[in-house]
Amino acid sequence: DIVMTQTPLSSPVTLGQPASISCRSSQSLVYSDGNTYLSWLQQRPGQPPRLLIYKVSNRLSGVPDRFSGSGAGTDFTLKISRVEAEDVGVYYCMQGTQNPWTFGQGTKVEIK
């Protein structure tokens, strides 16, 4: 199974400041069709997860443009350009390249 490792596991951030979460996979996430099936999810307290980014850097319709994804191969990053109060929650990276699909441990973003 592909292991997804996120850092940091906790990220206290000042409102209006940037935040960055790293995700590393134990194997390359490039699929045979050339796509990289790495996505980012946000889970606010008491809510189901919500898709933010798919295929590394594609923002889902309706997701604020302060969220961006980047990376390739085994190293990926989610950036929030200016953290807002509504961004508090746990963020997960997820790979859909190889069965079984696997998730990172989650990174808790909270306001300082």
Partner 1 sequence: QVQLVQSGAEVKKPGASVNVSCKASGYTFNDYWIHWVRQAPGQGLEWVGWIYPNSGVTKFAQKFQGRVTMTRDTSINTAYMELSRLTSDDTAVYYCTRDLNWAYDYWGQGTLVTVSS
Residue with tokens 């933010």: 52
Q: Which residues contact 71 (CB under 8 A, 6 or more apart)?
A: 23, 38, 56, 77
Buried-exposed string 33-57: b where 16+ CB fall within 10 A, e elsewhere: eeebbbbbbbeeeeeebeebbbebb
3-class SS of residue 88? coil
What residues from 89 to 108 belong to the interface with partner 1 (CB under 8 A)? 92, 94, 96-97, 99-106
State which of residues 55, 59, 66, 108 lies at the interface with partner 1 (CB under 8 A).
55
Nearer to partner 1, 16 or 61 (CB): 61
**Minimum CB separation from partner 1 for residue 16, in Å?**
29
State which of residues 3, 27, 44, 51 lies at the interface with partner 1 (CB under 8 A).
51
Q: Report d(CA 95, CA 109) in Å as an integer.
A: 21
66 binds partner 1 (CB under 8 A): no
**Minimum CB separation from partner 1 for residue 18, in Å?**
24
**Minimum CB separation from partner 1 for residue 103, in Å?**
4
Nearer to partner 1, 18 or 73 (CB): 73
